[in-house]
Amino acid sequence: MNTKFDVKNHVRDIPDFPKEGILFRDITPLLLDPKALACTLDLMESWAAAQHPDLIVGIESRGFIFGVPLAARMGLGFVPVRKPGKLPGSTLSEQYALEYGEDALEIHEDAIDDGQRVLLVDDLLATGGTAAAAGRLVSRAGGRVVGSLFVIELADLGGRRLLEDQEAHALAVY
């Protein structure tokens, strides 16, 4: 693993997206560079291994980009958490607040065995609502969240405060 690797060198700033006044942190350059992507996964795996998870749960949709290869590298299963109506079969649903309204996430109700140690993975920690809702879903499905892992954290938005009951780590903090 390259100890000098900095995720921020592979994130592009896009001003005024998706609306004026927002500075969007774009991971496309990171995904386009196979060495940068491999280094990112190395860093994620290093932190994740210390949490000793039994399972990786990725949050739609960019959590899948990082969660699936991380699970494969670690020899673990992967469970997707998706927007409503995207999973077949019986699901559990969890609503959460957005800045203007509500949204929801779903997980297969039989995806997690009782007591399994779960690591949540997503690309971004912003306000924390999505990650907190995913954590509640994991608990309702019988699992125990042992950590949440993000590529980027937007610290000014305070999302970490919703994850105080667990280990949380981001590779790049803005």
Report, as residue numbers or ranges, the catalytic residues.
62, 99
CB 142 within 8 A of CB 116: yes
Q: Which helix (H) or strand (E) holds 58?
A: strand 55-59
Spell out the residues 6+ positions from residue 150 whose beta carbon is closer than 8 angstroms to its own.
Answer: 121, 122, 123, 124, 125, 131, 168, 169, 170, 171
Partners of residue 128 on adjacent β-strands: none
How does 135-158 read in b/e, with b if 16+ C-beta sit within 10 Å?
Answer: bbbbeebebbbbbbbbbbbbeeee
- Residue-level length of the chain: 174
